[in-house]
Amino acid sequence: MKRVKNIQREKYNMPITIMLIAGIVITILLPLYMSVMIAIKVPTDMNNVLALPKQLRLMNFVDAWKMTEYPRKFFNTAFITVINLGITLISNSFVAYAITRNRKKSKFFEIMYYYFLSAMFIPFSVIMLPLVVQANTFHLDNVVGITFLYVIFGLPMNTFLYCGAVKGIPEALDEAAMIDGARPLQTFWYVIFPVLKPTTATVAILSFMWTWNDFTMPLVLLSEQSQQTLQLAQYVFKKQFSIDYNLAFASYLLVLLPVLVVYVFCQKWITNGVVAGAVK
Protein backbone atom coordinates (compact mmCIF):
# COMPACT_ATOMS: atom_id res chain seq x y z
CA MET A 1 0.00 0.00 0.00
CA LYS A 2 2.76 2.42 0.91
CA ARG A 3 4.87 1.28 -2.01
CA VAL A 4 2.08 1.96 -4.47
CA LYS A 5 1.80 5.42 -3.04
CA ASN A 6 5.49 6.10 -3.54
CA ILE A 7 5.63 4.99 -7.14
CA GLN A 8 2.43 6.65 -8.31
CA ARG A 9 2.01 9.67 -6.14
CA GLU A 10 -0.93 11.08 -8.06
CA LYS A 11 -3.07 7.93 -7.87
CA TYR A 12 -5.82 7.55 -5.32
CA ASN A 13 -5.59 4.76 -2.80
CA MET A 14 -8.57 2.75 -3.99
CA PRO A 15 -8.54 -0.19 -1.50
CA ILE A 16 -8.80 2.22 1.41
CA THR A 17 -11.43 4.30 -0.37
CA ILE A 18 -13.57 1.22 -0.99
CA MET A 19 -13.17 0.00 2.58
CA LEU A 20 -14.17 3.38 3.97
CA ILE A 21 -17.23 3.56 1.74
CA ALA A 22 -18.23 0.03 2.77
CA GLY A 23 -17.84 1.16 6.38
CA ILE A 24 -20.19 4.08 5.79
CA VAL A 25 -22.80 1.88 4.14
CA ILE A 26 -22.80 -0.75 6.88
CA THR A 27 -22.41 1.33 10.02
CA ILE A 28 -24.03 4.65 9.18
CA LEU A 29 -26.33 4.39 6.17
CA LEU A 30 -27.86 1.04 7.08
CA PRO A 31 -29.35 2.16 10.44
CA LEU A 32 -30.63 5.36 8.83
CA TYR A 33 -32.06 3.47 5.85
CA MET A 34 -33.78 1.09 8.23
CA SER A 35 -35.27 4.01 10.16
CA VAL A 36 -36.69 5.53 6.99
CA MET A 37 -38.13 2.18 5.86
CA ILE A 38 -39.86 1.60 9.18
CA ALA A 39 -41.23 5.13 9.18
CA ILE A 40 -42.98 4.73 5.83
CA LYS A 41 -44.44 1.26 6.34
CA VAL A 42 -47.67 -0.12 7.76
CA PRO A 43 -47.49 -2.28 10.92
CA THR A 44 -48.36 -5.46 9.01
CA ASP A 45 -45.45 -4.99 6.62
CA MET A 46 -42.68 -5.43 9.18
CA ASN A 47 -41.46 -8.98 8.45
CA ASN A 48 -38.47 -7.75 6.53
CA VAL A 49 -37.70 -4.25 7.77
CA LEU A 50 -35.00 -3.68 5.17
CA ALA A 51 -37.24 -4.38 2.18
CA LEU A 52 -38.98 -1.56 0.38
CA PRO A 53 -42.55 -1.02 1.60
CA LYS A 54 -45.38 -2.88 -0.14
CA GLN A 55 -47.61 0.03 0.66
CA LEU A 56 -46.28 3.50 1.28
CA ARG A 57 -47.74 5.17 4.35
CA LEU A 58 -46.77 8.77 4.89
CA MET A 59 -49.59 9.25 7.37
CA ASN A 60 -47.14 8.00 10.02
CA PHE A 61 -45.48 11.39 9.90
CA VAL A 62 -48.80 13.21 10.29
CA ASP A 63 -49.82 10.98 13.19
CA ALA A 64 -46.44 11.38 14.89
CA TRP A 65 -46.65 15.13 14.32
CA LYS A 66 -50.00 15.24 16.14
CA MET A 67 -49.20 12.72 18.83
CA THR A 68 -45.98 14.35 20.04
CA GLU A 69 -47.42 17.86 19.53
CA TYR A 70 -44.50 18.51 17.23
CA PRO A 71 -45.08 22.24 16.58
CA ARG A 72 -45.19 22.99 20.32
CA LYS A 73 -42.08 20.90 21.08
CA PHE A 74 -40.26 22.28 18.09
CA PHE A 75 -41.02 25.81 19.22
CA ASN A 76 -39.79 25.04 22.75
CA THR A 77 -36.55 23.50 21.50
CA ALA A 78 -35.96 26.24 18.95
CA PHE A 79 -36.67 28.92 21.55
CA ILE A 80 -34.15 27.41 23.97
CA THR A 81 -31.53 26.95 21.25
CA VAL A 82 -31.84 30.36 19.58
CA ILE A 83 -32.24 32.52 22.69
CA ASN A 84 -29.42 30.69 24.44
CA LEU A 85 -27.23 31.22 21.40
CA GLY A 86 -27.93 34.94 21.19
CA ILE A 87 -27.38 35.69 24.86
CA THR A 88 -24.42 33.33 25.20
CA LEU A 89 -22.46 34.74 22.29
CA ILE A 90 -22.78 38.35 23.37
CA SER A 91 -22.52 38.01 27.15
CA ASN A 92 -19.88 35.31 27.37
CA SER A 93 -17.58 36.95 24.87
CA PHE A 94 -17.81 40.23 26.76
CA VAL A 95 -17.16 38.53 30.10
CA ALA A 96 -14.10 36.84 28.60
CA TYR A 97 -12.93 40.15 27.15
CA ALA A 98 -13.35 41.93 30.49
CA ILE A 99 -11.52 39.17 32.34
CA THR A 100 -8.62 38.81 29.93
CA ARG A 101 -7.93 42.54 29.56
CA ASN A 102 -8.07 43.27 33.29
CA ARG A 103 -6.48 40.18 34.79
CA LYS A 104 -3.14 41.88 35.25
CA LYS A 105 -4.64 45.08 36.59
CA SER A 106 -7.03 43.74 39.17
CA LYS A 107 -7.00 40.69 41.42
CA PHE A 108 -10.79 40.43 41.06
CA PHE A 109 -10.64 39.34 37.42
CA GLU A 110 -7.79 36.94 38.09
CA ILE A 111 -9.91 35.21 40.72
CA MET A 112 -12.93 35.16 38.42
CA TYR A 113 -10.87 33.49 35.70
CA TYR A 114 -9.87 30.63 37.96
CA TYR A 115 -13.35 30.45 39.47
CA PHE A 116 -14.99 29.81 36.10
CA LEU A 117 -12.16 27.52 35.00
CA SER A 118 -12.42 25.30 38.07
CA ALA A 119 -16.18 24.97 37.60
CA MET A 120 -15.48 23.00 34.42
CA PHE A 121 -14.47 20.07 36.61
CA ILE A 122 -18.01 19.65 37.95
CA PRO A 123 -20.03 17.27 35.77
CA PHE A 124 -23.76 17.83 35.42
CA SER A 125 -24.79 14.61 37.14
CA VAL A 126 -23.00 15.79 40.28
CA ILE A 127 -25.21 18.87 40.69
CA MET A 128 -28.32 17.32 39.16
CA LEU A 129 -30.15 16.59 42.42
CA PRO A 130 -29.61 19.91 44.25
CA LEU A 131 -30.10 21.87 41.02
CA VAL A 132 -33.68 20.64 40.74
CA VAL A 133 -34.37 21.90 44.27
CA GLN A 134 -32.70 25.22 43.48
CA ALA A 135 -34.53 25.57 40.15
CA ASN A 136 -37.89 24.88 41.79
CA THR A 137 -37.25 27.58 44.39
CA PHE A 138 -36.69 30.10 41.61
CA HIS A 139 -39.45 28.67 39.33
CA LEU A 140 -37.06 27.77 36.55
CA ASP A 141 -38.85 24.54 35.63
CA ASN A 142 -40.02 25.93 32.27
CA VAL A 143 -38.66 26.81 28.85
CA VAL A 144 -37.54 30.32 29.81
CA GLY A 145 -35.94 29.10 33.03
CA ILE A 146 -33.99 26.31 31.37
CA THR A 147 -32.75 28.73 28.70
CA PHE A 148 -31.42 30.93 31.48
CA LEU A 149 -29.70 27.92 33.06
CA TYR A 150 -28.07 26.95 29.76
CA VAL A 151 -26.58 30.44 29.48
CA ILE A 152 -25.21 30.19 33.01
CA PHE A 153 -23.91 26.63 32.74
CA GLY A 154 -22.19 27.22 29.42
CA LEU A 155 -20.22 30.09 30.89
CA PRO A 156 -17.08 28.21 32.07
CA MET A 157 -16.41 26.42 28.78
CA ASN A 158 -17.26 29.42 26.58
CA THR A 159 -15.31 31.87 28.69
CA PHE A 160 -12.34 29.54 28.47
CA LEU A 161 -12.58 29.42 24.67
CA TYR A 162 -13.09 33.18 24.32
CA CYS A 163 -10.31 34.05 26.79
CA GLY A 164 -7.80 32.19 24.66
CA ALA A 165 -8.95 34.10 21.59
CA VAL A 166 -8.95 37.53 23.27
CA LYS A 167 -5.41 36.92 24.47
CA GLY A 168 -4.35 36.65 20.84
CA ILE A 169 -5.68 40.11 19.96
CA PRO A 170 -3.05 42.82 20.49
CA GLU A 171 -4.03 45.34 23.13
CA ALA A 172 -2.88 48.13 20.83
CA LEU A 173 -6.13 47.61 18.96
CA ASP A 174 -8.19 48.54 22.04
CA GLU A 175 -5.93 51.46 22.83
CA ALA A 176 -6.27 52.85 19.33
CA ALA A 177 -10.05 52.70 19.60
CA MET A 178 -9.99 54.30 23.07
CA ILE A 179 -7.80 57.14 21.81
CA ASP A 180 -10.37 57.73 19.08
CA GLY A 181 -12.87 58.23 21.88
CA ALA A 182 -14.66 54.86 21.90
CA ARG A 183 -16.18 53.71 25.17
CA PRO A 184 -15.47 50.18 26.44
CA LEU A 185 -18.75 48.79 25.06
CA GLN A 186 -18.17 50.41 21.68
CA THR A 187 -14.60 49.16 21.58
CA PHE A 188 -15.79 45.68 22.30
CA TRP A 189 -18.69 45.68 19.87
CA TYR A 190 -17.04 47.39 16.90
CA VAL A 191 -13.42 46.34 17.29
CA ILE A 192 -13.04 43.16 19.34
CA PHE A 193 -16.22 41.17 18.64
CA PRO A 194 -15.70 41.13 14.85
CA VAL A 195 -12.14 39.86 15.31
CA LEU A 196 -13.43 37.05 17.53
CA LYS A 197 -15.55 35.64 14.69
CA PRO A 198 -13.83 32.21 14.39
CA THR A 199 -14.23 31.57 18.12
CA THR A 200 -17.81 32.81 17.98
CA ALA A 201 -18.48 30.21 15.29
CA THR A 202 -17.00 27.49 17.49
CA VAL A 203 -18.98 28.53 20.55
CA ALA A 204 -22.16 28.85 18.48
CA ILE A 205 -21.83 25.33 17.07
CA LEU A 206 -21.03 23.73 20.43
CA SER A 207 -23.91 25.57 22.12
CA PHE A 208 -26.33 24.63 19.36
CA MET A 209 -25.41 20.95 19.53
CA TRP A 210 -25.60 20.95 23.31
CA THR A 211 -29.01 22.57 23.67
CA TRP A 212 -30.68 20.91 20.69
CA ASN A 213 -29.62 17.38 21.62
CA ASP A 214 -29.59 17.69 25.40
CA PHE A 215 -31.72 15.17 27.22
CA THR A 216 -30.66 15.18 30.87
CA MET A 217 -31.44 18.77 31.85
CA PRO A 218 -34.91 18.83 30.22
CA LEU A 219 -35.64 15.42 31.76
CA VAL A 220 -35.01 16.57 35.32
CA LEU A 221 -36.40 20.10 34.99
CA LEU A 222 -39.27 20.11 32.50
CA SER A 223 -41.99 17.89 33.85
CA GLU A 224 -44.95 19.73 32.32
CA GLN A 225 -46.09 18.46 28.90
CA SER A 226 -46.37 21.91 27.33
CA GLN A 227 -42.78 22.79 28.28
CA GLN A 228 -41.04 19.69 26.93
CA THR A 229 -38.43 19.60 24.19
CA LEU A 230 -38.25 17.43 21.07
CA GLN A 231 -35.74 15.02 22.59
CA LEU A 232 -37.87 14.57 25.66
CA ALA A 233 -41.05 14.08 23.62
CA GLN A 234 -39.51 10.97 22.01
CA TYR A 235 -39.46 9.36 25.40
CA VAL A 236 -43.25 8.85 25.31
CA PHE A 237 -42.78 5.97 22.86
CA LYS A 238 -40.51 4.14 25.26
CA LYS A 239 -43.05 4.46 28.03
CA GLN A 240 -45.79 2.80 25.95
CA PHE A 241 -46.48 -0.84 26.69
CA SER A 242 -46.32 -1.92 23.07
CA ILE A 243 -44.50 0.51 20.86
CA ASP A 244 -46.00 1.47 17.50
CA TYR A 245 -42.63 1.39 15.76
CA ASN A 246 -43.84 2.94 12.52
CA LEU A 247 -45.11 5.97 14.37
CA ALA A 248 -42.07 6.14 16.63
CA PHE A 249 -39.56 6.08 13.79
CA ALA A 250 -41.52 8.70 11.84
CA SER A 251 -41.28 10.83 14.96
CA TYR A 252 -37.53 10.21 15.35
CA LEU A 253 -36.95 11.25 11.76
CA LEU A 254 -38.91 14.46 12.32
CA VAL A 255 -36.48 15.28 15.14
CA LEU A 256 -33.37 14.31 13.17
CA LEU A 257 -34.42 16.25 10.07
CA PRO A 258 -33.67 19.81 11.28
CA VAL A 259 -30.22 18.72 12.47
CA LEU A 260 -29.49 16.99 9.17
CA VAL A 261 -30.51 20.09 7.23
CA VAL A 262 -28.22 22.25 9.36
CA TYR A 263 -25.43 19.72 8.91
CA VAL A 264 -25.74 19.59 5.12
CA PHE A 265 -25.44 23.37 4.86
CA CYS A 266 -22.85 24.07 7.56
CA GLN A 267 -20.78 20.87 7.45
CA LYS A 268 -17.43 22.57 6.99
CA TRP A 269 -18.11 25.12 9.71
CA ILE A 270 -19.27 22.49 12.13
CA THR A 271 -16.28 20.18 11.77
CA ASN A 272 -13.83 23.09 11.97
CA GLY A 273 -15.62 24.53 14.99
CA VAL A 274 -15.63 21.25 16.87
CA VAL A 275 -11.91 20.72 16.29
CA ALA A 276 -11.11 24.26 17.40
CA GLY A 277 -13.20 23.78 20.54
CA ALA A 278 -11.43 20.58 21.52
CA VAL A 279 -7.83 21.47 20.71
CA LYS A 280 -7.78 24.68 22.72
Window 201-240: residues binding other proteins (CB under 8 A): 209, 212-213, 215-216, 219-220, 231, 234-235, 237-238
256 binds other proteins (CB under 8 A): yes
We find the least distance from the C-beta atom of residue 116 to other proteins, in angstroms, to be 7
Q: Which of 64, 149, 163, 206 binds other proteins (CB under 8 A)?
A: 149
Integer-rounded Cα Rg, in Å, for the chain is 24
Name, in order, each residue with C-beta under 8 angstroms of 76's C-beta and a sequence gap of 6 or more. 143, 227, 228, 229, 230
Distances (CA, A) of 146 to 64, 78, 116, 211, 232: 25, 13, 20, 10, 14
3-class secondary-structure state, position 147: helix
The reply to whether 278 sits near other proteins by the rule CB under 8 A is yes
| DSSP one-letter string for 169-233 | S-HHHHHHHHHTT--HHHIIIIIIHHHTHHHHHHHHHHHHHHHHH--HHHHHH--SGGG--HHHH
Binder to other proteins among 44, 54, 105, 242 (CB under 8 A)?
105
Window 167-186: residues binding other proteins (CB under 8 A): 184-185
Cβ-based nearer residue to other proteins, 42 or 132? 132
> Distance between CA atoms of 249 and 235, rounded to whole angstroms?
12
CB 226 → other proteins: shortest distance, Å? Answer: 20
| Of the residues 83, 112, 182, 236, which one makes contact with other proteins according to CB under 8 A | 112
List the interface residues with other proteins, window 81-100 (CB under 8 A): 91, 94-95, 98-99
Q: Which positions from 50 through 69 interact with other proteins, judged by CB under 8 A?
A: 50
